[in-house]
Amino acid sequence: MNYPFNTKITNFFGTRLPIVAGGMQWLSDAKYVGAAAKAGMIGFITAGSFPDLDALRKEIRHCRDLADGLPFGVNVSMLPKLVEGEKTDLIFDLIIDEGVRFVETAGRNPEKYLPRLHHAGIKVLHKVPAVKYAQKAQDIGVDAVTVVGAECGGHPGMDLVGTIVQAAIAARKITIPLVIGGGIGNGAQIVAALALGADGVIIGTRFLVAEEIWAHRAFKEQLIKADETGTMLIMKTLKNTLRALRNDTAQTVHRLEQEHGGNLDVLMPHISGKVGRMAYETGDTSVGALATGQSVAFADRIEPLVVIAGRLEKEMIEAMSRLRELSKNCLQSKI
C-alpha cells in the first residue's frame, strides 16, 4: 500500500492510517467502529457492552455492513467482572463463527485462546500497561501488542510509567507490530510515537466527542470544557488504577479509599459500570467513574469521526514537514 504513513501496523490491519480506535466500554458499537473503518483506521466493537451473544452477533453483522469491506475487529476485555469463565469462550466462538479477522484482548493472559483464534485466521492485538507484559504477550505468540502509558484513560496499570518512556523502551524490546497509547490526541504526537519506534498509536479519549459516539451531547460538551488537568487517578487501593474524569464520583472514591482502603463493597456503588453508563445516557458527568485520558485537552469540538481523523492526518503531515525542514537545516549547517 502506497500510503503516506506506511508502517507495520497499517500493513498488519490493511488501513490507511497507523491509528487504532481502541475498544471503549459501552461506547464502541457498530456505528462508531464502522466510521473508524471509513476514516482509514481500525476500530473494535466492545463485546462486554452487549447484554447477550445474540446482541453482539447482530452488532458485528451491522458493523460489517457499515464498514463496507474495510477492516474492523472485536474487543474482548477478559476482566473477571466483565466476561467470566465460559462466556469468554462463547464470545470467541461467536467471533470465529462470524468470520471476524481481528481481536483486541486486554485484562488476562490470552494464551489459552490463541491456538483456536489463529486456527481460524484471526490476528490478535493484546493491550497491556507495561513493557514487561508486552514482552510476555510477544513470547506467548500474540500477533501485535499495545502498550499504554500513565496518561491513558481507563486502566494505566500500577507502575504509571509515562507514554513517551514506554514507547522508547518498548521499541527496543518488541519485534512484533507495536502500538503505543496514552494521552495521544494530536497528529504531532503520532509522528513522535513513530519516531520513537512504534508502528502505530491507539486513541480513545480524543474520539469521545465524535458524532458517531452515542453518548449524550451534554457529556461531550463537558469533555470539550476539560483540559489536561481534568482527570484523576482512583482505585489504586483495588490494584486496578483507573484514570477517570475529575467529577463528584471520582472525588468521592478518592476520599473513600483514604478512609476505607480497598473495600470493594464500599466502592462498588460508585465505580459500577452501570453508573458510568447512566452518565453517557443522561449527559450528567458529575456521576460515574468515567474513563478519560489526559488527551481530553485535544477534544475541542463535536464533529464526525472522519473529520477528526482528517485533522489528525493534517497535523501528522505538518509535523513531518517540520522534521524535514529541521533535517535540511542540520545538513546545511554541516556544509
- Which residues of the chain fall below pLDDT 70? 1-3, 79-86, 331-335
Tell me what pLDDT residue 84 has: 47
Q: What is the DSSP string of 10-31?
A: HHHHT-SSSEEE---TTT--HH
> Which residue is associated with the grid cell 522534521?
323
Whole-number Cα distances in Å, 240 to 22, 130, 155, 237: 19, 14, 7, 8
Q: What is the pLDDT of residue 79?
A: 67
Partners of 76 in the beta sheet? 105
Q: What is the pLDDT of residue 86?
A: 55
147 touches 126 (CB < 8 A): no
Sorted by where each starts, the structural domains of the chain and their CATH numbers stand as 8-211 (3.20.20.70), 217-294 (no CATH)
